[in-house]
Structure 1
Amino acid sequence: MAKRVANKPIDDSLRQDLEGHLETLVAKAGTEGVRKKLRNLHRACACIVEESADALTVPLVVETYAKICKGEIGESTIRNKRGGENLYQSLYRKWEIVAAAKAASSKPSNVLDAGIIGDHEIMTIENPRLRHQVILMLNHNRSLHSQLNILRHEQAQIPLRIEGSPLAPGNSDLLLSDDEVEAVRDFVDARRMNAKNLQRTKDDGVKLKDGRPIADPGFVSALEKIVRSYERQ
């Protein structure tokens, strides 16, 4: 089921931009039939975004179009790329941006884990390829952030193999494999940290290059001790 969003009026500047985009597309249309279908698609999207609390989706637009416009428009008509510009897709994408901005304005700014850019800013990127690349970049950044959190929260459970201090019986399953040791060694490597936009702090913690802390003081030195303990075996 599509996520429902708060029913809040569209910002005037967004509305003017939307109306201007519609008129631009109508002017590009080659036939009266296409112009009529564009205006009907505009009506269907407006009905969903302005008058209901449902999220904008292509299937819902098709359903609403049939109900209020007494006609039909196929999902493929909106989705498919054509030889030139798909006017219907262009209008739908503009409504997507407006719907996302409307939803974002009805709740506190939802900043992704990466802490760099919010959902509203992403959806206002009109170039679909650029918007997709930004989403991929943030997902990768979020994945790195999650990995760091896992290491930070589980560091106390990693046994240190210090020479002369054998593990208690039954704990051999807690020994790190060669791959696990190599992963820890790679993480604390200065060049790899720099490549991941990370920096070691003076107190052996980890921070992003913009200064935001990611790991507590002593985190890096603890990982280095783990690596050294395995090198002495």
Structure 2
Amino acid sequence: MMDGSASKTRPNSHRAIDELRDLIFSGELAAGSDHLETELAERLHMSRTPIREALLALEGQGLVEMRPRKGARILALSPQDMGEIYEILTALESVAARNAAMASYGDDDLTGLARAIDNMDTALEANDLRAWAQADDDFHTELVRLGGNSRIMSVVSMMADQVRRARAMTLFMREKPHQSNHDHRQVMEAIRKGQPEVAYKIHHAHRTQARRTLLGLLDKHQLRSI
């Protein structure tokens, strides 16, 4: 966590990115809505320059579309979009799991994965699905990092926000994700034991099921991600 002095020196454009992302993820800036730079600058109590820089960064992340004379439009994601994104994530993260299992990691190297899984278990026991979602993000981020492929890290990072948006809308519609915790623990054990094909197979099946669940909820409730 940043102290007060660090927060004060942080560039306004970085703060604008974080605050706009929070507004998009919470639905306060709804999918399909248009917002002028002047409106957003007033809302965040900033000048237009950091707002413009933040919007350009968010456009690169697929969250907004800059429209001449109309400002920024908050983009929605269709089930087809999510299906394509999950297809890519499933392939790349599974390769990362296999690579990690080939890297001869010791227990000390896997503390990040173990901590994320423990936090997922604790969150479910407390019925705190938002905390579970954060711990789940932490697991996938650490898994990809352990895979050691910088290009996979870059592509997965670029798509992570879209996945979080769709999951935020369906988080409380699904059954409690106990199976997800179990799958993650099995992947970690395969990495620890140096079993690359087992790690690949388990994670591929896990992501495939996650995709099926998410798309089913989006279709059933005729939702578009926020």
The answer, yes or no, to whether TM exceeds 0.5 is: no
TM class, shorter-length? under 0.3
Structure 1 length as normaliser, TM-score? 0.21
Highest CA radius of gyration, 1 or 2?
1
Structure whose residues are more often helix by fraction = 2
Structure 2 length as normaliser, TM-score? 0.22
Q: Which structure exhibits the higher relative contact order, with contacts defined as CA atoms closer than 8 Å and separated by 6 or more residues?
A: 2
